[in-house]
Structure 1
Amino acid sequence: MSDPTTPTSEQDWRATLSPAEYAVLREGGTEPAFRGEYTDTETEGVYACRACGAELFTSREKFHSGCGWPAFFAPADADNVRLIEDRSHGMIRTEVRCAKCDSHLGHVFRGEGFSTPTDERYCINSISMTLRPATN
């Protein structure tokens, strides 16, 4: 069942998102490295899709990879993201999309040798998320 508050047309998305958000979330763009709002954030909380509010990652899965974008070793719930093959730019990668609204979030890379539980790096654009700080 669709959420009535989530835009359904590209015209609605353009009216809802800023031009920079639209470029990343709806057109598959990438924000510049080391410039995103959450690259080095250590605030505890939940990272939600900026387009629809779906919970994507938590601070428990976030780690410093040095890649220039927020990195997570796993999503909060695997059902909240969709992984698809991306053959753009002469590479074969795995794109990460929001399962609820199909917005582009970033890419996941495997086998890079990080000392995390999964040896996966979900390299996610800050602009595709909103951090909801934990309330203690």
Structure 2
Amino acid sequence: MTQHIFVLNGPNLNLLGTREPEIYGKDTLDDIHQRMISAAPDAEITFLQTNSEGQLVDWVQQASREASALILNAGAYTHTSIAVHDALRACKIPVIEVHLSNPAAREAFRETNYISPCASGTIAGFGAHGYLMALDAALQMTA
């Protein structure tokens, strides 16, 4: 059976490669997507990005119905969204939280995290490579 992995990206991640590259790196979201496809050619990867909280909630719910696992970089919604938190609490598949930077080493307002309590695990601070680490974990968890 083909593993189906949803990779969901929240607000401002469409700006990767140009937004604060000293923090988030120079890779674009498309670069990351292509590396994930290359790393797991036998998996089906649904890779999406939105700046809308409601859309992200809809996709989390869809992933719970259709996917084997969910990789989520909720961006700023990590620190603000009870709606995403609640959608994840209803999610019945493994959820891997990923962050390009290490939020714990940044501004104090990033200490609040509504995603981690709902995640199977968190990968943070490894830049774009964190997505490949999360993909490996997702594939192992659903094998």
TM-score normalized by structure 1? Answer: 0.26
Q: Give 1 or 2: higher helix fraction.
A: 2
Q: Give 1 or 2: higher strand fraction.
A: 1
